[in-house]
Amino acid sequence: MSNIVIIGTQWGDEGKGKIVDLLAEYADVVVRFQGGNNAGHTMVVNGEQFISHLVPSGILQKKICLIGNGMVVDPAVLVEEMDYLISKGIQVGPENLKISERAQMIMPYHKQVDNAREKMKGDKKIGTTGRGIGPAYEDKATRRGVRFVDLLEPETFREKVSTILDEKNFYLRNYLSAETLDMEPILEQYAKYAERLAPHVSNISVTIQQATKAEKQVLFEGAQGTHLDIDHGTYPYVTSSNTVAGNACCGSGVGPKDISGVIGIVKAYTTRVGEGPFPSELFDEIGD
């Protein structure tokens, strides 16, 4: 199989999960490289349907699953997914689920800002999921983001949260007219996440390089679709990350030479969710 990138070629929901499930059987490592819990992949766990938003689908087939540095991760959602899988008898431990120490964390203020902004826009909203994805990527670009490596250093984490929370609360209160947040509950909750997730945090680019050198097969699992790419999509009605195949390298820490091929998934009956232009949309009874 070699090292393959799976991407959607439209606006998402193309059925990437089915192909990922099929190819994961032949892979040794499965990597998520962009997005966050704004994506969903339906899996069947012991006859019960389960939608994974963060954990790579290879976890069901006992593959090494990696969450790349290109992702923004809500620790609460990740822990919830891990607990669900464990409750169903699926092995989820540091040996088979690893999180890049450079991955950005979604914080409570990201979700607060996301929802307050969308509410303020009214009819001009872009259709965000309200899960803090965009604001988290904003903080990454402006070098104010909180990464998983910071979660391992309590004093560093406190200092970063304290600094940025003052700014976020000013913005929430004075511009968005929204409720502000207290720091101590955030620190207490994330300390619990740190205890749970610290064993999973590592340099996943090294893991991928080691797998490649050992001639193991790596599957890169994309989310959303090409037309939702922040640069190449129907801007501004797009997601906040690069969804195209090239980001598999940037979002996981490998070079282009480590990618053997790309598979683009196409859905015969095209759909899109949220706001934005939709060329070829049918407005008759067939489209409805």
Mean pLDDT (10-residue bins), the chain, 288 residues: 91 87 92 89 74 89 95 97 92 96 98 90 68 95 96 95 96 94 97 97 96 95 94 93 96 94 92 82 76
Buried b (16+ CB within 10 A) or exposed e, 9-42: bbbbbbebbebbbebbeebbbbbbbbbbbbbebe
Structure tokens at 237: 């009605």
Secondary structure of residue 164 in the 3-state scheme: helix
Query: What number of residues does the chain have?
Result: 288
Helix axes of 154-174 and 108-121: crossing angle, nearest 10 degrees: 20
Confidence (pLDDT) at 125: 63
Confidence (pLDDT) at 272: 84
Which pTM does this prediction carry?
0.92
Confidence (pLDDT) at 45: 66
Distance CA(221)–CA(224), nearest Å, equals 10
Confidence (pLDDT) at 284: 81
Distance CA(10)–CA(130), nearest Å, equals 22
Structure tokens at 222: 């994309």
Secondary structure of residue 147 in the 3-state scheme: strand
* Active site annotation includes 13: yes
Confidence (pLDDT) at 170: 96
Query: Where do you find CATH 3.40.440.10 in the chain?
Result: 4-103+200-265
* Active site annotation includes 232: no
4 within 8 A of 26, measured Cβ to Cβ: no
Active-site option among 13, 74, 150, 258: 13
CA angle centred on 242, ends 237 and 245, rounded to 5°: 125
Buried b (16+ CB within 10 A) or exposed e, 230-240: beebbeebbbb
Confidence (pLDDT) at 1: 65
Q: Which fold has domain 108-197?
A: Adenylosuccinate Synthetase, subunit A; domain 2 (1.10.300)
Distance CA(57)–CA(52), nearest Å, equals 7
Active-site option among 21, 28, 41, 74: 41
In this structure, is the dihedral angle defined by the CA atoms of residues 53, 68, 79 and 155, taken in order, positive or negative?
Answer: negative
- Long-range own/partner contacts, residues 278-282 (CB < 8 A, 24 or more apart): 278/11
Q: Which fold has domain 4-103+200-265?
A: Adenylosuccinate Synthetase; Chain A, domain 1 (3.40.440)
Query: Where do you find CATH 1.10.300.10 in the chain?
Result: 108-197
Distance CA(86)–CA(79), nearest Å, equals 10
Confidence (pLDDT) at 88: 87
